Structure 1
Amino acid sequence: MELIDYVLIILKVIVGISILNVWLIQPKKNTIWRGGDATTIVEEFKVYGLSKTFCYVIGFLKVSLAILLLASIKFETLTLISTLGLATLLMGSIIMHLLVNDKLYKSFPAFLFIVMNLTIAYLTL
């Protein structure tokens, strides 16, 4: 394997595990990154004017795409769909933060993971 292959694996693991952590391990944990004054993911979606059902749909998509991204370490054909899908959903996160006039720093994690996902996509082409 070449250096670029190791870089791709590292980026995929960072993004995949981070998304799984947010949605499966810490969905009820209060963090500085949550939109508005929300303390949980469900509350954050309420701040955005979105339903609990929509929260679960987005969560399902993000978790599924994160798992596919991790699986793409072994099955490269999964890379583009998972990384571009996550980048798209993360762009939605940034848009929602902007719509509720959150401070810019709250969008930083989504922005960082978009950059990482687009880097993965670029290096895969």
Structure 2
Amino acid sequence: MPPRPPRDLSIGQAARRCGLSIPTLRYYESIGLLPPARRRDSGQRVYDAAALQRLAFIQRCREIGFPLDDIRSLADWAEQPERACGTLQQRTEAQLTLVRDRLRALRRMELGLMDVLARCEGGCGGSCTALAAGG
């Protein structure tokens, strides 16, 4: 039997279910990333299955490094299935290029740190020059 869709959830329940903090959920709503929540008579925000699905999409996009502006347009795009995949493909390719650039930079940093450690392991003798260029 497939899981039942969640009933309407309070902001705290929705935040816990999505692995977010309450301020983050409010922020996403304030910047228009998440449509304004329906409110109970008491004024308490209420999140339905569609909101949770959008939050899951936002979280997945954040996990793979998309900036918020891209997530906003991708989330809007995802809600219109008749649209072509070209937009998603272009943005994903651009994001992948950025991630690969960051990985190359991190690898250079790793090698530099390993070099400093190797120089330090030989003993500094009171005047460590391991960080000096060509040290």
Task: Give the TM-score normalised by structure 2.
Answer: 0.29
Higher helix share: 1
Greater C-alpha radius of gyration: 2
Identify the structure with bigger relative contact order (alpha carbons < 8 Å, sequence gap 6+). 1
Task: Give the TM-score normalised by structure 1.
Answer: 0.31
